[in-house]
Structure 1
Amino acid sequence: MTTMPYDVSGRHVAVVGGGRSGLAASRLVVQRGGRVTLIDAKDALAERAELEALGVSLALGAMPADVPVDAALVVVSPGVPADATPLEAARARGVTVIGELEFAASFLAGPVIAITGSKGKSTTTTLVGRMIEASGQKVLVGGNIGVPLSAQVDASTPDTWHVVETSSFQLETIVHYHPHVAAWLNFSPDHLDRHRTEAAYEQAKARVFENQGPEDWAVVPASDARIRAHAARHGARLVAFGVDLSQEDGVGLQGDVIARRRVRGSPEPLVPVSAVRLTGRHMLGNVMAACAMADLAGVSGDDMVRAVEGFTGLEHALEYVATIDGARLYNDSKATNVEAATMAIEAFDVPVTAIVGGVYKGGDFARLGPPLRARGGSVVAIGEAAPLVEQALGPLVPVTRASTLDDAVSQALAQRASGGVVLLAPACASFDMFRDYADRGRAFKAIVARLAAARGGQEVRNG
């Protein structure tokens, strides 16, 4: 939390970006007595009538060279690059430019738990929220998942925990954003189409710890010395997850139980592994991280167990969809980078045919080869990145190309006719063929449902 909220009363604020975050920020500015000009490159917004009724001025169409000259503050949505032309022009004139996350967090009354990472953010954020809720405490979950933080300000109270999925795009534009608990789950190259270099992406992620001090907590993976070094730099108390509890304090496995060990103490059992309903060994790491954060929020092991037992995962995150002709089909459309796709493949010990491709964001597709080859796997390549996928993986495993997702599913099922897994794990963004990863995942599930119905009504889950 910041020490003081941004004062927008009676002031003109330019909000750049008309997505969910920008709309929520515009409403918050109006609620706090400010005047808004909302700028977006789209020609139209579905919310136009509502915004105009609130007194919001709209500047739609091509992105302008500058924001209105009398704007005292610029609030930018995470989808807008931090170096976009109007933002640079505003900075050059001395205007403060901040992100929606920074703006909203300044008004919060309760403590923030911020969760970032290259994969697993949404699952872990959701789990932490469920654990705190199970303990009977007040909690709001949002940020990069579900509800923008600006839309939660009115419900914030001093005893409300804010569990905030925090992306690198949001962290680029923070100033005072101060989580009481900050977790960086993992790191692998991603979003290089925007950050340009791996180093820039890493530095953006590291900012989650930037405003922490000795009164705060940093939750970090035991296996990543680089992340631990970033966290230690700002003085927060560290809790590692995935630790060897015989050697180190933190959260790890004691036999078949996730446990918490404190300095010079004995491990305290929290959650039995048998209670975890999620597919994939990597998901166990997400549960351990969630347990670490929930423990810091005062949640008991019994409450953690109740939360975990009722959680079967998020839509589009290693989501089981159906079984057709002996092959199990899984939707992991949220696997938008190579590391996430690798983890998805490694979640299975049977032959896997992976549907890979979309808009390339960086990373080495060849890393998918060893786990696929070890499982007698293959690849169906789709989208703009299909040539890159074929070039990288063709020497390692069988690769075919499909012009549509429908064709890709049919090809993959033909390759897995004798059983195994068909896995949508694109390792890419979706914008060449779909609106977003969720649109891609829903399309995959609809295709699978049609095929299942045509082949005799196989089991289908449409979550």
Structure 2
Amino acid sequence: MELEGKSAVVVGMARSGVAAAEFLLGRGARVVAADRKPAAELPPEVTRLQEKGARLALGAHDAATFTAADLVVVSPGVPWDLPELVAARGAGVEVIAELELGFRCLTGTVAAITGTKGKSTTTAALGAMLKAAGQDVRVGGNIGQAVTGLVEGSTEKTVFVLEVSSFQLEGTEAFHPRVAVFLNLSPDHLDRHPSFDDYARAKARIFRNQTEDDWAVVNADDPGVIALAREGRGRPLPFHPLPSASPAPEGRGPAAFFAGNEARLRRDGAVEVLFPLSAVRLPGTHLAGDLLAAAAAARLLGAGPEAVERAVRAFTGVEHVLERVAEIGGVAFFNDSKATNVEAARKSIEAFPGPLLVVMGGRYKGGDFHDLAGVLATHGKAVLAIGEAQGRIAEALGSVLPVIACPSLAEAVDVAWAEAEPGDTVLLAPACSSFDMFEDYAARGRAFKAEVHRLELKELGAGG
């Protein structure tokens, strides 16, 4: 992609936007870095872009800046129907996602992972498997580094393992993964997408440019995923995510599944063992399913079965995904701040036998909290409700178990500790976004861990 001398506007100065602006500057483009927030509310990396040659347009958007550009690059957090983007497209300006920009400029093979939940775990695990096989792997996208920050120095042997969200995919045109993994589909981000169908269609763009030479690793137990995959041309490799002792799926086509306490792959008429379930170090059966999908993709990308199993045995998960924080006085604390929707929270709660004290809430973004009633009736002891969604949570779940409204995350941790008994688990599973109280889910997860460690030090002091 020729960028030298082009006028480019990058809108949204979070992690991906800053990376895209730096990338464009490095390729000789004339860059305008735009954000509605003033400089005081943005990270220092933004003001440093000016020192590197970018013009800053902060505090408000000017449509004329967008319509006069050769290219507009959009960060994932920026709505695709932003009036200035609509005006730019109407003026014939090419408007693309940061993911698309990175893809057009990289060299190598792309594996992309999407889904409503499990993306980060699957992405990190696939990266670890390919690394264990000795491949040149670059992991990023919606986690870690932005794609444009991974491009430099890539070769034909480089494999990009990218977590991709609906926000990123909706701004793609040429994006073409050699292996596309679609984990699951349930309502999410309905505060951003007009409808569930719009959300699903954005996700389905992962298949858009695949050919018969590519692979689509898809959840065989999710009808929505299967229906979207059928519209693509990639070769399907269905995976059955639930561990069981059932026999292999019928037929002779490719499939990944659990049988006999092992993860197995059937391909070219032969069945091989990917890893024993005893090698999995993560809580929750749904995370074993994520590892199964990652292992199938790793084999398609050339990793040997020994490397796959070795990586599974060493893999302890990713930060903010069922992350064990501490055990205090016989009470375990787990951080699942990435459980930002109702379905993800349900899976998180199901990972523990109980009794559970669940810290839940934040900014509501769709879904039905009533869907958690059954699993909380079985596993829950209390819900500590935080953030803007407190009222919705209490209305949906107050008849099932105690829902205690807490004005802050710190108070939620303190109340959970006061209510807990040895053998209980305190779980942060918000089922909401973090933007009413925190910069993002990671900041929320870090805050939770800090409060738990504060409590841990307090209890150590009391005991000493």
TM over 0.5: yes
How far residue 270 of structure 1 moved from its aligned partner, in angstroms, is 1.3
- What does residue range 54-69 of structure 1 map to in structure 2 within 5 Å? 54-69=52-67
Whole-Å Cα distance in 2 between the matches of residues 374 and 47 of structure 1?
47
Matched, 1:388 2:392: yes
Whole-Å Cα distance in 1 between the matches of residues 150 and 128 of structure 2?
17
1:241 is matched with 239
Matched, 1:262 2:267: yes
SS at match of 1:195: coil
SS at match of 1:33: coil
1:192 is matched with 190
How far residue 457 of structure 1 moved from its aligned partner, in angstroms, is 6.6
1:160 is matched with 158
How far residue 54 of structure 1 moved from its aligned partner, in angstroms, is 2.3
Matched, 1:325 2:329: yes
How far residue 458 of structure 1 moved from its aligned partner, in angstroms, is 11
Deviations 1:168-223 (A, max 9, x none): 00011001100011111011111111003111111111111011110110010110
Matched, 1:379 2:377: no
- What does residue range 5-404 of structure 1 map to in structure 2 within 5 Å? 5=1, 7-44=2-39, 45=42, 46-242=44-240, 245-248=248-251, 249-265=254-270, 267-404=271-408
SS at match of 1:279: coil
Q: Which amino acid aligns with 1:323?
A: E
SS at match of 1:47: helix
Whole-Å Cα distance in 1 between the matches of residues 49 and 289 of structure 2?
42
How far residue 375 of structure 1 moved from its aligned partner, in angstroms, is 2.2
Which segment is superposed worse, 155-164 or 319-328? 319-328
Q: Is the 8 A contact 2:11 2:33 kept in 1?
A: yes
Q: Which amino acid aligns with 1:113?
A: A
Q: Which amino acid aligns with 1:99?
A: A
Which segment is superposed worse, 303-312 or 373-382? 373-382
Deviations 1:261-318 (A, max 9, x none): 12433x2011111111101111011000001110101111110111111111111110
Whole-Å Cα distance in 2 between the matches of residues 450 and 29 of structure 1?
43
Whole-Å Cα distance in 2 between the matches of residues 227 and 127 of structure 1?
21
Deviations 1:144-177 (A, max 9, x none): 1100000111121100000010000001100110
Q: Which amino acid aligns with 1:125?
A: T
Q: Is the 8 A contact 1:322 1:458 kept in 2?
A: no
1:440 is matched with 444
Whole-Å Cα distance in 2 between the matches of residues 276 and 62 of structure 1?
49
Whole-Å Cα distance in 2 between the matches of residues 120 and 39 of structure 1?
32
Q: Is the 8 A contact 1:140 1:162 kept in 2?
A: yes
SS at match of 1:67: helix
Whole-Å Cα distance in 2 between the matches of residues 224 and 312 of structure 1?
26
SS at match of 1:106: helix
Ranges in structure 2 where 5+ consecutive residues have no aligned partner: 242-246
SS at match of 1:367: helix
Whole-Å Cα distance in 2 between the matches of residues 286 and 270 of structure 1?
13
SS at match of 1:455: helix
Which segment is superposed worse, 154-163 or 25-34? 25-34
The alpha-carbon distance between structure 1 residues 458 and 381, as it changes in their structure 2 partners (threshold 3 A), is same
The alpha-carbon distance between structure 1 residues 458 and 137, as it changes in their structure 2 partners (threshold 3 A), is farther
Whole-Å Cα distance in 2 between the matches of residues 133 and 376 of structure 1?
39
Q: Is the 8 A contact 1:345 1:372 kept in 2?
A: yes
Q: Which amino acid aligns with 2:239?
A: F
Which segment is superposed worse, 235-244 or 182-191? 235-244
Q: Which amino acid aligns with 1:455?
A: E
How far residue 431 of structure 1 moved from its aligned partner, in angstroms, is 1.3
Whole-Å Cα distance in 2 between the matches of residues 375 and 32 of structure 1?
54
How far residue 225 of structure 1 moved from its aligned partner, in angstroms, is 2.4
SS at match of 1:443: helix
Whole-Å Cα distance in 2 between the matches of residues 76 and 430 of structure 1?
21
SS at match of 2:60: coil
The alpha-carbon distance between structure 1 residues 92 and 281, as it changes in their structure 2 partners (threshold 3 A), is same
Whole-Å Cα distance in 2 between the matches of residues 76 and 376 of structure 1?
41
Whole-Å Cα distance in 1 between the matches of residues 332 and 102 of structure 2?
43
| Identity among equivalent pairs (%) | 49
Let me know the Cα RMSD of the aligned residues: 1.6
Q: Is the 8 A contact 2:362 2:437 kept in 1?
A: yes
SS at match of 1:193: coil
Matched, 1:426 2:424: no
How far residue 405 of structure 1 moved from its aligned partner, in angstroms, is 1.0
How far residue 95 of structure 1 moved from its aligned partner, in angstroms, is 1.0
2:244 is matched with none
Q: Which amino acid aligns with 1:325?
A: G
Whole-Å Cα distance in 1 between the matches of residues 434 and 229 of structure 2?
32
Q: Which amino acid aligns with 2:431?
A: A
Whole-Å Cα distance in 2 between the matches of residues 68 and 297 of structure 1?
40
Q: Is the 8 A contact 2:99 2:141 kept in 1?
A: yes
The alpha-carbon distance between structure 1 residues 219 and 120, as it changes in their structure 2 partners (threshold 3 A), is same
Q: Which amino acid aligns with 1:275?
A: A
Whole-Å Cα distance in 2 between the matches of residues 119 and 48 of structure 1?
31
Whole-Å Cα distance in 2 between the matches of residues 197 and 43 of structure 1?
31
